[in-house]
Amino acid sequence: MTLRQSIVFNGDLGSGKSTVSVEIAKRLGLRRVSVGDLYRQMAQERQMTALQLNLHAELDQAVDGYVDQLQQDIAASGERLVMDSRLAWHFFTDALKVHMITEPTEAARRVLARPSGPAESYTSLEEAKVKLHERSESERGRFIVRYGVDKARLRNYDLICDTTRANAEQVIKHIIDAYEGRLGADVLREGPPLLLLDPTRVYPTEEVGALRGLWDSEFVGDVARGGDEALEPLTIGYTGRYFYVVDGHRRLSAAIQNGFSMIPARLVAEADEPVVGGMSAVDYFAAQVRPSTVYDWEAAHGIQLPLPEHCLLAGDAVLAGDPAPGA
């Protein structure tokens, strides 16, 4: 097959973009360009933190203008490369556009653990979590105003990788397999993005008691032998914060039982897009996912899922630390 010209990375702070993009560039023999490194250098030269530079860039278009022109020039050059940039997906057309995501507390933990510099330094996990969110929202708002694009929309990308529990080698292998056409080719061709999700972070939309075959040992064993890349992609909805199953509960359950850290899926709808019967992805999630749905799925699989906001308002919700119904 014909390879995409480049691979461009965008994603959550602390999702592992630098680690993964550096190694992929090495393995594919491509040059790597990091806009994040450039921004950190600019912040240091101005004696600012990364967050302060982001806030400054909201007022001074010259900051983004310089970086934008650099990316446009590289994209126009036709060079095949690896680009680590929060906006490269907007400038590059013939590229595999990879968006990496991570659970916020895990992302903060990773950032806090790495060597700090004058442009990026935190004193606690909570401070890191708050400031990473502020930086991300500052960028998001700036991009919406300046370019008319929302970096949080998954439809902007070809490949979404949840790195919460996956190690770097797993992520690297999956991205290269997708780039070279061995993984998710049908989804990437017919209706991207291809989602590679942590199965323990995906919400069910049916009650465990109503689902048949979840504990079919033969099926679970077949999934184990095939591995996550051989699993038929689940059909997934996304609220803008939560991923949930529209079709594929049995496969999701088998993936959790086998300890998979990533599973393939296709996106049927996000945010205000319709799922079924004209119901939006957000409304479908609110209608289908009840506290009991979450509690029973957690108990059946030995995992924990944060209770969504709409469930906290439900009559049968319990406070954190209290036993779930029937416990």
Domain ranges of the chain: 6-160
Is the pLDDT reported for residue 265 higher than 70?
yes
Closest CA to 139 of 92, 90, 69: 90
User: 93 pLDDT band (50/70/90 cuts)?
Assistant: confident
| b/e code 237-265 from CB counts within 10 Å (16+ = b) | bbbeebbbbbbbbbbbbbbbbbebbbbbb
What per-residue confidence (pLDDT) applies to 3? 60
* Percent of residues, the chain, with pLDDT higher than 90: 60
State the pLDDT at residue 323: 45
CA–CA separation, 156 and 138 (whole Å): 19
Is residue 232 scored above 90 in pLDDT?
Answer: yes
Q: Is the pLDDT higher at 288 or at 67? A: 288
Structure tokens at 305: 């899922």
Q: Record the tokens describing residue 184, joined without a space.
A: 């998710």
Query: Which residue, among 169, 161, 166, has the nearest Cα to 27 in the 3D structure?
Result: 169
Mean pLDDT of 107-132: 80
Close Cβ partners of 83 (under 8 Å, ≥ 6 residues apart): 6, 7, 8, 9, 21, 32, 33, 35, 71, 74, 92, 95
Mean pLDDT check: name the lowest of 45-54, 202-211, 293-302: 45-54
Helix (H) or strand (E) holding 268: strand 263-270
Mean pLDDT over the full length of the chain: 86
* CATH T-level fold of 6-160: Rossmann fold (3.40.50)
Q: Which of the two residues, 211 and 158, has the higher pLDDT score?
A: 158
Q: Counting beta carbons within 10 angstroms of the beta carbon of residue 298, is it exposed (0 to 12), middle (13 to 18) or buried (19 or more)?
A: middle
Q: Which amino acid is at 168?
A: A
Digit-coded pLDDT (tens) for 269-312: 999 999 988 899 999 999 999 999 999 999 999 999 999 999 98
